[in-house]
Amino acid sequence: MNNRNSKRAIGIAVLFEIILITASIGNIMLRQWRSLALLLLAIVCLIIPFVITYIANKKRIWLPHNFQLIMVIFIFLAQYLGEIKKFYAMFWWWDLFLHAIFGSYTVIIALYSLKGIIKKDQEATEQLFTIFTIIFAFSFSVAVGTLWEVFEFVGDYLFNSNMVKGGLKDTLTDLIVKILAAFITSVKYYYGNLRR
């Protein structure tokens, strides 16, 4: 099993990188440092799908066939069009659209990963099974924590309660703490399991 590098994804990534580098040069000349920082972040982010594919191949984890292509396009839509070209401000639905794509596609990624690990004619190694179990547990924790924040928001909205005391800051602080705790617990479990 090997996840292949997509020639189409590489070509589109190169095209997007050229657009981003050209825009970066323009921002340097105009001394627009905030936009330059966002462009540099986008340039780095476009490499991430290829790094993930490399790691997945090393760990023998399956990824969907068009993983690189979809992720490259998603990063360009979010970083360049969304942030730099201000699509988030121009179109009220842009952020929701991207979150919907992300939510849907992460389910597909998880299903492919699971299929690769629990394939009937291929016995999963203990380490690989442990890694996937930890990813599932971490994701489950983050999902439940996020649902709780949604519950607090809906409660405040519908019943005029005061569960989200600090607004966005309260919600994000809660989510960050939950994610960090879930991550630390997952790492401890992984290394504890290796010693057995």
Query: What does the alpha-carbon distance between residue 110 and residue 6 come to, in Å, rounded to a whole number?
Result: 20
Residue corresponding to tokens 């997007």? 16
What are the helix and strand counts (H, E) for the chain?
8, 0
Poorest-confidence range of 13-22, 85-94, 135-144, 158-167?
A: 158-167
pLDDT class of 121 with cuts at 50, 70, 90: very low
* φ/ψ of residue 32, rounded to 5: -100, 85
**pTM passes above 0.85:** no
Among 38, 15, 41, which Cα is nearest to 27's? 38
Return the structure tokens found at 63: 């990824």
Best CA proximity match to 132, nearest among 65, 46, 44, 193: 193
